[in-house]
Amino acid sequence: MPDKSAVTQYSAINFSKKYDLFSEQWTPKVIAQMNNYQFKVVKIEGDFIWHSHADTDETFIVLEGQLRIDFRDGAVMIEQGEMYVVPKGVEHKPYAEREVKLLLIEPAGVLNTGDEKSERTAVNDVWI
């Protein structure tokens, strides 16, 4: 976690500048924390894995592109400038035909693949 004294610099967080700091996909990067909730930027393209988060909801905010989240009984399309909250315990699978830039909001310590472990499981709590 970054030094809290950095807050006294009164600098806004610029999403574009944060996205310029990395190129890899499916690897959320923490850009801020409010209480126990982290704000994470991530680039995604293609298919993810089926997973759920037993203890928390997960918020997806599409900053650029179009995201589909599949559920076992349907799907939701999320356009740029829209958001969707996946309720805790609901199995889901994000998909992006073209690269999407997302802002995720979830409690600190939540893995991107929930209870599932795979090659898509990212290192957690990486700040940029």
pLDDT in tens, the chain (128 residues): 665 555 567 999 999 999 999 999 999 999 999 999 999 999 999 999 899 999 999 999 999 999 999 999 999 999 999 999 999 999 999 999 999 999 999 999 877 766 667 676 777 788 99
In a domain, 9, yes or no: no
Domain of 68 in residue numbering reads as: 15-107
Domain count, the chain: 1
Q: Look at strands 29-34 and 37-47 and give their pairing.
A: antiparallel
Whether the Cβ atoms of residue 18 and residue 29 lie closer than 8 Å to each other: yes
In a domain, 128, yes or no: no
79 is written with which tokens? 């356009």
Closest CA to 86 of 62, 110, 108, 70: 70
Whichever domain contains 93, its CATH number is 2.60.120.10
In a domain, 98, yes or no: yes
In a domain, 112, yes or no: no
